[in-house]
Amino acid sequence: MCVLLKNLEILEWLWHDADLHLLTTAWSDSGETSVSLRCELNPEELRKPLFQLGIETSIVDVQFRPVWHLKTDLIGDIADREVVLDWHVSDRTPAIELLRRNGAARDVELLHHQIKGSGGSTIDIICEMICLEEVKPQKSEIMILSR
């Protein structure tokens, strides 16, 4: 179950040093775009705010809906898995202002997520809301972990 995240400050500190696992995009039949970013949180982070939301796993899908703008600069060949170094959220950026000047998203609240990775990758997403969904291990993963 996806939980609407209202306190976005959680992303800026709790996702620091999170491993990036997966970035996906999807389009609905109506043309609405959504983006999902699967991350594994650093085990040293205190996850109490997530527990309060009912999220108990360390692997979490961050779902951005609806997405008005997505720009990525992913480095495809680095020595190790990409890790989040910085996650900044703002409601006033030049990219949001450009959308509005071009006639888009005038009557909705937008947030610009700027994510920087350890290997030099960047992800910029402008969306209306964020949902979090815990990723439960598959049965095969549970068997491997229990051995």
Number of domains in the chain: 1
Predicted structure pTM score: 0.87
Question: What stretches of the chain adopt beta strand conformation (E)?
Answer: 3-4, 19-27, 33-40, 59-73, 84-90, 111-117, 122-134
pLDDT in tens, the chain (147 residues): 899 999 888 888 899 999 999 999 999 999 899 999 999 999 988 899 999 999 999 999 999 999 999 999 987 776 678 899 999 999 999 999 999 999 888 889 999 999 999 989 999 999 999 999 999 877 545 445 544
Parent domain of 68: 3-146
